[in-house]
Amino acid sequence: MLSIPFFLDISSRIIVWLAILGQSGLINTLLMGTGLTDAPLDWLLYSEVAVHFGMIVSLFPPMALPIYISITLIDDSFIEASNDLGASLVQTLTRVIIPLSLPGVMAGVVFCLGPALAAWVEPGMLGGGFVNLISNSIESALSALRYPVVAAMSAFVIGILLLLLWIMYLVVRRFGDLSGSFRVQRG
C-alpha cells in the first residue's frame, strides 16, 4: 500500500488532491450533501493548509517505510527481555523500541528533509501561487536571472540542512546506543 505512490510522479498525485479538495470536490460535495455546511469550504484549496497537507501526503511514504523496516528488524528477544524485567509498555516503547528504531527515523528524515525544502509542486498547485516557500523564492530568483540571490538562498538552505543533520546526529548519538543496556552484569 505504501509503495503505490512511488509509481506516480508528484504532479499526478497533486492533481488527484485538486479534485478532492476543490470547491466542487469530493470533500465539499460530501459536506454539503450531508448538510454539515451550506457553502463549500474555500480554505481546503489554495491555502497553507492545503500545501502542508499535500506535503505530508507526498512525504509520508519515504518517511514511513524506513521507520517500518527498522521497527520490524528489532529482535523480539529485546522486547521479551524488557517485559521479563518488569518494564511497562511505555517503558518498553521509550527505552527499547524508539532507541532501536532511531536509525530508521533518521533515514526517513534524511529522505524527506531535502524534498521538503525543495518542494515547489505542492505550493504551486495546492497553494495556487498564494503560498510562498523558500523553494518558490529560489525558483523565481532563478527565472529572473538573479544569480547572487539564488546562491545566497541556496547556501542558506544547505546550511539549514547541515544544521538539522548535525542535531539529528547528536540525538542519535545520545539516545541511539543501547549496546551497554543489554550487557551481562557481572557481580
Tens-digit pLDDT profile for residues 146-157: 999 999 999 998
In tens, the pLDDT along 96-125 reads 998 888 888 888 988 998 888 888 888 888
pLDDT given at position 178: 43
| Nearest C-alpha neighbor of 106 from the set 151, 32, 165, 152 | 165
Does the pLDDT value for residue 86 go beyond 90?
yes
As a whole number, mean pLDDT of residues 67-80 equals: 92
- Predicted confidence band at 186 (pLDDT cuts at 50, 70, 90)? very low
pTM > 0.75: yes or no: no
Contact 104, 71 (CB under 8 A): yes
Does the pLDDT value for residue 183 go beyond 80?
no
pLDDT given at position 2: 59
End-to-end CA distance of the chain: 50
Bigger pLDDT: 185 vs 64: 64
In tens, the pLDDT along 11-49 reads 888 888 888 888 888 999 999 999 898 888 888 888 899
Grid cell 509542486 is found at: 121
Say if residue 77 is exposed, middle or buried (CB neighbours under 10 Å; 0-12, 13-18, 19+).
Answer: exposed
The conformation of residue 185, written as its DSSP 8-state character, comes to P
